[in-house]
Amino acid sequence: MRFITRRGLTAIALLAAVTGVSAQDIQERTIKFGHLNNAGHPTSLGVQKFAEIVAAKSGGKIKVQEFAASQLGNELQQQSALQGGVQEMLVASTTSLNGIAKEFGLLDFPFLFANAKQADAMVDGPLGKALAAKLPEKGVIVLGFFDLGFRNVTNSKRPIMKGSDLEGLKLRVIPNPVFLETFKTFNANPLPMAFAELYGALESKAVDGQENPFAVIASSKFYEVQKYVSGTNHVYATNPVQISKRFWDRLSATEQKILADSAIEAQNWQRTVSREVSSKALGELTAKGMVYNDLPPAELAKMRVAVRPVYDKFSAAYDPAIVTLFKSELERVSKF
């Protein structure tokens, strides 16, 4: 007589909990899920939550293996691996997607949102769906959007109190034409660089500063190599949760539903956690010796006006229908 182990009974019970699912609908699989941030960062926590949910929904048959801190390569390398089917999943900025669907650059326009609720409404609504619809033919499917938060400038030279304070600063930016043009507007010297190289560049003074959300600045220990952190809130960063279409097409409908549902559950959980961590991270940065300043509202207003040509320049090169949708959605979410 064959005995079933306690672990086997648990797996059977978990699988039975997925209504109407038979064992043959779910295969034993391991998903490589890469990202750029350190373990313990809210992105990492979101990946771990996704793994937990997938395990529960699949009766333990689908395992998600996290690869944090650029272990699978830099952002563009992982994006390429995803399209080729070598890597199953990735959560990263919209930057790498700009190269395959340039309209994702709309989400990188500066000073779009006053709060996180507006950003959520934008990516969860018609615009986010329209952008995601451009990707399957390029080998990528978007399952959701994690929160990264408002990006803020740090540097080793001076507080940023107005746009002109950026003049002459060598700032690392993500390899993204919208970011480059935005900082050139203020006569900074923006330098595109892979995130994995950033700490060393700050330490060696190859660059004066960088821009990232508070949680990234804290988890990456940039306080060790930067003096000033300024609340510019110039871009709200949302990170698409991506899956390789080549991998997706090999899944059963049941498996696809498990991953899609799990991604939305993990997304909603991760956003809450990310924002809690962000609010605490600024306190950590100042406790570690960084000097923080807000920007006067009048100066922020001037900066918003200054970057309008960035909107016009890039919008002219995008799909007109998407740009029209973007403008109407921006008006809609601005009321939140």
| pLDDT above 90 for 96 | no
Q: Tell me which DSSP letter residue 107 carries.
A: G
For the chain, how are helix, strand and coil distributed in percent, rounded to 5?
50, 20, 30
Quickly list H helices, the chain.
6-16, 42-57, 75-84, 95-98, 116-124, 126-132, 177-185, 198-203, 214-219, 245-248, 253-287, 297-306, 308-315, 320-333
**Residue 3 pLDDT:** 42
| pLDDT above 80 for 78 | yes
126, two tokens = 């018609």
- All residues at 6 or more sequence positions from 1 whose CB lies less than 8 Å from its CB, including other chains: none
Q: Answer yes or no: are the C-beta atoms of 200 and 210 closer than 8 Å.
A: no
| pLDDT above 60 for 2 | no
Query: How far is the first Cα of the chain from the last one, in angstroms, to the nearest whole number?
Result: 63
Residue-averaged pLDDT of the chain: 93
| pLDDT above 70 for 257 | yes
**Residue 95 pLDDT:** 83
| pLDDT above 70 for 21 | no
* pLDDT class of 13 with cuts at 50, 70, 90: low
β-pair type (29-34, 89-91): parallel
**Residue 191 pLDDT:** 97
pLDDT in tens, 298-331: 999 999 999 999 999 999 999 999 999 999 999 9
Burial category of 159 from C-beta neighbours within 10 Å (exposed 0-12, middle 13-18, buried 19 and up)? middle
Q: Tell me which DSSP letter residue 68 carries.
A: -
* pLDDT class of 15 with cuts at 50, 70, 90: low
Quickly list H helices, 58-176.
75-84, 95-98, 116-124, 126-132
Q: Answer yes or no: are the C-beta atoms of 126 and 250 closer than 8 Å.
A: no
Domain ranges of the chain: 27-333
165, two tokens = 């304070």
**Residue 24 pLDDT:** 77
| pLDDT above 90 for 127 | yes
| pLDDT above 90 for 275 | yes
- Residue 328 has φ and ψ, to the nearest 5°, of -70, -35
* pLDDT class of 4 with cuts at 50, 70, 90: very low
pLDDT in tens, 216-241: 999 999 999 999 999 999 999 999 99
Q: Answer yes or no: are the C-beta atoms of 176 and 241 closer than 8 Å.
A: no
CATH superfamily of 27-333: Bacterial extracellular solute-binding protein, family 7 (3.40.190.170)
pLDDT in tens, 129-154: 999 999 999 999 999 999 999 999 99
Residue carrying the six token digits 């000073």: 111
* pLDDT class of 20 with cuts at 50, 70, 90: low
33, two tokens = 């899920």
Length of the chain: 336
| pLDDT above 70 for 266 | yes
Q: Answer yes or no: are the C-beta atoms of 94 and 36 closer than 8 Å.
A: no
- All residues at 6 or more sequence positions from 303 whose CB lies less than 8 Å from its CB, including other chains: 110, 111, 162, 163, 186, 232, 234, 295
In sequence order, what are the beta bridge partners of 303?
none
| pLDDT above 90 for 161 | yes
Burial category of 170 from C-beta neighbours within 10 Å (exposed 0-12, middle 13-18, buried 19 and up)? middle
Neighbours of 224 (CB within 10 A): 12
Task: Tell me the CA distances in angstroms from 108 to 61, 103, 174, 268, 280, one per residue in order.
Answer: 38, 10, 11, 21, 25
Closest CA to 231 of 311, 307, 299: 299
